[in-house]
Copies of this chain bind each other. A is one copy, B any other.
Amino acid sequence: MPARTTAARAGLTIAEASARTGLTPHTLRYYERDGLMLREVGRTASGHRVYTDADLAWVTMLTRLRATGMPIREMREYAALCRRGEGNEESRLGLLQAHRSRVLEQLAAVTDHLGAIDEKIGIYRGRLGRPA
């Protein structure tokens, strides 16, 4: 275990990375196993993972993609493209744009459905003599 509890060390333990990203250590290991990380996560002499700020930034991007509904499979593709280095920016852009437009569609659909649900709520409020 590292000496200081939290400080300007070069890297973070998995527990710290977990705290900062909101993902559990289990999930962080799973993402790594599943080929979602940009580069190999560093290790201490004893084999413990060491997360850099760059790793955290990448994980944050992953959580954004996930939270907007991107399947793991596609995140893996994106990671693979990024890992391969320069020269495939077109593909990465395409992937992100496709995702973006799916998200927009989904936002519109959810908003629409929510409107209908709101009407239902309005009906119940009216029936309970409780306006607005």
Contact = CB atoms under 8 A, between A and B. Distances in A.
A57 to B, nearest CB: 11
A96 B127 CA distance: 15
Nearest to A94: B124
Nearest to A116: B64
A120 interface: yes
Interface residues of A, number: 32
Contacts of A118: 100
A117 to B, nearest CB: 6
This protein's copies in its complex: 2
B107 A120 contact: no
Contacts of A9: none
Interface in A99-126: 99-100, 103-104, 106-107, 109-111, 113-114, 116-118, 120-121, 124-125
A128 interface: yes
